[in-house]
């Protein structure tokens, strides 16, 4: 496989409302995508998630910066698996900085995701890094989170009731959260 390096910026201006339809995420990787590599990319402004990974597998998100999304900065769900998010920076997300989620309506749990060395700053709501449901995998290295709401910046595991309980998730490295006054 030949890898092409491309520094890319995706920008949206004057986004004032949060949406959630597929076409409103700035970058979307769907279940048919396998082995996609996104690196050295900046996303500035999104009406929904900055990067939305919906059932994709074998993906790598490396050295991306997501700024000013109205929802999560980076959101992985719907059975996404065997993916790596490394050295991501999220600033000004409207919800979680990096979210690994298995919804009750998902036919498969999201699993085997590695989130390595994310940095999350100035969320308007949500957590720095969230893991919700499913046999997620590994979150490791250092998480830096600066958030407006004192309890919203916690990093950890949340378990919903339903068919995708958290199993074998590992939190390693150093986890810090800084709260704004």
**Three-state secondary structure call for residue 24:** helix
Residue whose C-alpha is closest to residue 68's, from 92, 49, 50: 92
Percent of the chain with pLDDT over 90: 27
Written as tens digits, the pLDDT of the chain (181 aa) is 445 556 777 777 777 877 677 777 788 888 877 889 999 999 998 888 999 999 999 999 999 999 999 899 999 998 899 999 999 999 999 998 988 888 878 888 888 888 888 888 888 888 788 877 765 455 544 445 554 432 333 344 444 434 444 444 445 444 444 333 3
Predicted pLDDT of residue 91 = 93
Predicted pLDDT of residue 53 = 93
Predicted pLDDT of residue 5 = 52
Residue whose C-alpha is closest to residue 154's, from 137, 130, 181: 130
Give burial (CB, 10 Å; 0-12/13-18/19+) of 25: buried
Using one digit for the tens of pLDDT, what is the confidence trace for 77-113?
Answer: 988 999 999 999 999 999 989 888 888 788 888 888 8
CB atoms within 10 A of CB 88: 24
**151/42 Cα distance (integer angstroms):** 28
């Amino acid at each position: 496989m030949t890898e092409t390096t491309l520094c890319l910026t995706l920008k949206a201006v004057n986004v004032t409302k949060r949406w959630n339809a597929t076409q409103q995420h700035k970058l979307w990787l769907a279940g048919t995508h396998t082995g996609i590599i996104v690196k050295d990319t900046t996303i500035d402004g999104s009406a929904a998630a900055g990067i939305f990974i919906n059932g994709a597998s074998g993906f790598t998100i490396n050295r991306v910066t997501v700024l000013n999304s109205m929802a999560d900065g980076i959101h992985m769900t719907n059975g996404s698996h065997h993916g790596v998010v490394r050295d991501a920076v999220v600033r000004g997300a409207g919800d979680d900085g990096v979210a690994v989620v298995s919804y009750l309506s998902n036919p498969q749990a999201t699993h085997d995701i590695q989130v390595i060395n994310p940095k999350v700053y100035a969320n308007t709501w949500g957590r720095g890094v969230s893991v919700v449901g499913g046999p997620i995998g590994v979150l490791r290295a250092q998480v830096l989170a600066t958030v407006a709401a004192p309890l919203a910046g916690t990093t950890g595991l949340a378990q919903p009731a339903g068919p995708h309980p958290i199993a074998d998730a590992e939190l390693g490295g150093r986890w810090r959260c800084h709260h704004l006054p």
